A and B are shown apart, each in its own frame.
Chain A
Amino acid sequence: MILAYKPSEKVKHGFEETRLNIAPVMNLMVVLIPLLLSSAEFVRLSVIELNLPPAALGPEGEQLNNLPEEEQRKLDLTVTITDRGFFISSAMAVLGGEKEGEPTIPLSGDMYDFEALAEKLYEIKTKAGDRFTDSEHIIIMAEPEIDYQTIVSTMDASRSIRINGENQALFPIVSLSAGIL
């Protein structure tokens, strides 16, 4: 049998370009994406914990706390939020501002200056050190018309401060005081 052509001259068929079949990947996406979408959390909720002493224990609780006052040195650090700024006070004195009767940290522009508050509290924390029994406590008081967001942000500013990228604890135990109604 004579070949019509030399084997070396056989024309090789060009390889047909095989297209990448995307359909199986799309199957996967169509299943995964709605699944993840239903369990996605775009806004995270968290809670601030405030525990009041139980009402029933009121009178008895006071008796238990009747330790000799001279041995306890309390700082009683209080931040009062007014519409003119923050007043910082303690059991000893009110930390004055620039002038007599001015808030310790006045409003900057029209907004409350939380960074300045945090820095001031850091100063106080480093100076107070360990000398007081309640050096982790801070009391927040506010005028009746102050809005909720300001109070929450003040609580944030008093709990910790971010220095050089690290979070330093300031006064983690925050309590709200009734103030004047």
Chain B
Amino acid sequence: MAIRPSIRKKHKTDPGEAHLQLTSMMDMFTIILVFLLKTYSTHGQLINPSADLTLPTSVIQHLPEQGLDVTVSMDWILVNGSPVEKTVNVASMDGYMIPALRQELRKYADEALKMEELYGVKFSGKVTIQGDKKLPYKLLMKVMATCGQTDYPNMRLVVYQEEG
């Protein structure tokens, strides 16, 4: 033979690029993309739902607004994240007022009123109440009455929105 076999290139054909099978991954990504486009929202997050409570569900559609945050879980009552009173103590109190909560709200109200004097920012008196869905009615009533008495009459109850 004219040429020796070993000199000849072993692999004449270029192995080429590795062909990664991406079509199935692309199908999945397309479906995920369509789903995410559907749940896209520009509202942003004004309210941070607390982790240790389950909000009740409702069909109402009003959007949340900025305001003082009162969270009533099964263990603690918190105002803007700082614990104020144990829920069990409140249940056994007489009357409509919760003293510790009232003190805390008074502090915030006074601050806001001062701001209104200094800067002209109108005090809206809005308080956002997040409550666990198993709270008894009397507890809710006490919290709402305390808020009402401390210059926070506009209450917003946070709920999960359900369809229909």
Residues of A whose CB lies within 8 Å of any CB of B are 19-20, 22-23, 25-26, 29, 32-33, 36-37, 39-56, 81, 142-149, 151-153, 155-156, 159, 162, 176, 178-179, 181
Contact = CB atoms under 8 A, between A and B. Distances in A.
B6 interface: no
A55 B19 contact: no
Given A43-B160, A46-B158, A153-B58, 15 more contacts: A22-B26, A37-B36, A41-B40, A46-B62, A46-B63, A47-B156, A48-B62, A48-B156, A50-B144, A52-B144, A55-B149, A145-B137, A148-B136, A152-B159, A176-B141
Nearest to B67: A47
Contacts of A178: 96, 141, 145
B164 interface: yes
Given A47-B156, A50-B144, A25 B43 contact: no
Interface string B136-154: 1110111011001111011
A22 B144 CA distance: 59
Contact of B141 (A26, A49, A181): A181
Contact of A49 (B19, B39, B144, B156): B156
B132 interface: yes
A123 B140 CA distance: 30
Contact of A33 (B33, B58, B95): B33
5 contacts: A19-B19, A45-B49, A147-B137, A156-B58, A181-B138
B135 A36 contact: no
Contacts of A26: 22, 25-26, 29
B135 A148 contact: yes
Contact of A32 (B33, B96, B149): B33
B43 A41 contact: yes
B107 interface: no
Contact of A51 (B33, B150, B155): B155
Contacts of A53: 153
Given A46-B159, A145-B138, A148-B133, A55 B22 contact: no
Nearest to B91: A144
B59 interface: yes
B89 interface: no
B24 to A, nearest CB: 10
A181 B96 contact: yes
Given A48-B62, A148-B132, A149-B56, A22 B23 contact: yes
Given A41-B41, A51-B154, A151 B164 contact: no
B161 interface: yes
A48 B60 contact: yes
A142 B22 CA distance: 60
Contacts of A23: 22
A48 B148 contact: no
B121 interface: no
